[in-house]
Amino acid sequence: MADTARAPAVSVVIPCYQQAQYLELAVMSVLGQTFADHEVIVVDDGSPDESAAVARSLAARFPACRISLLRQENAGLAEARNAGIRMARGRYVLPLDADDAIDATFLEKTVGALEANPDCSVAFVDVVRFGAESGIWKMGPWDEDTLRRRNVAVCTSLFRREVWETLGGYNPNMVFGYEDYDFWVGCIERGMKAVHVPEPLFFYRVKQSSMVSGAMRNHVPLYCRVILNHPRFFPQAAVDEARRYLEANPLPAHRRLVKAAPRPAT
């Protein structure tokens, strides 16, 4: 039996909004890890489907595993992650979207990478696309110049809990996506280092309705929002341009978009 009283090493936080049909695969990919010292927190972000019922069913089927359900009114992905991490007990945190999955060795290799590199705060991996697309994305490199231009790591990257505490969580103004890019920029501007595990250990589901064209339609305003969230990290000219753009093209206060695809290395 799992020791539910002892804090786990890793907390896997899975926000779920209208993804009930995929949630079991995501959770099972965690339960099948070769590194077993973890808990799973499913955050039902006001989903109108059967997300909560699926989470409860999995918790009942696997009582020896630490599966918890947190329900809240719809607040968007960033706030759903924050809510789950507030509840988390692990010293490491792994966000995982409900329609994605991880390789069985993901936690073993990323936890090992962080424990072998105590000066690093984040461990990220390469990406396998599946569903409406297939292929592999190589992620990185983790450096300031690259992060000023594009994202370098997917949201499903392992980080130390104090990273989230130092940043104050995911920025809730990133309601359209790119909340992970914004988070990584916050890390690197504070001097945090990352270690790349160069293996395709994260499985990113590509759906026909949410392929890269959807992300690219929203790329400019989202990128501008990241710049304005971190004005000291980006050149002043970029900050001024981003401000002008969003003043002319304001984003609505709150709306759910399809998840943005990670931007592959070029």
Instruction: Examine residue 260 and state whether it is found in any structural domain, yes or no.
Output: no
Percent of the chain scored above 90 by pLDDT?
A: 84
Q: Which domain holds residue 58?
A: 10-248
Instruction: Examine residue 129 and state whether it is found in any structural domain, yes or no.
Output: yes
In this predicted structure, what is the pLDDT of residue 266? 36
In this predicted structure, what is the pLDDT of residue 73? 94
The tens digit of pLDDT for each residue in 167-211 reads 999 999 998 889 999 999 999 999 999 999 999 999 999 987 653
> Whole-angstrom Cα distance, residue 262 to residue 229?
19
Q: Is 147 exposed, middle or buried (0-12, 13-18, 19+ CB in 10 A)?
A: buried
> Whole-angstrom Cα distance, residue 262 to residue 121?
20
Where does 17-119 show beta strands of DSSP type E? 38-45, 67-72, 92-95, 101-102
In this predicted structure, what is the pLDDT of residue 6? 86
CATH code of 61's domain:
3.90.550.10
Instruction: Examine residue 265 and state whether it is found in any structural domain, yes or no.
Output: no
Instruction: Examine residue 2 and state whether it is found in any structural domain, yes or no.
Output: no
Instruction: Examine residue 3 and state whether it is found in any structural domain, yes or no.
Output: no
What's the number of domains the chain is made of? 1
What values do phi and psi take at 198, rounded to 5? -80, 60
Instruction: Examine residue 42 and state whether it is found in any structural domain, yes or no.
Output: yes
Instruction: Examine residue 210 and state whether it is found in any structural domain, yes or no.
Output: yes
Instruction: Examine residue 263 and state whether it is found in any structural domain, yes or no.
Output: no
Strand partners, 11: 39, 93
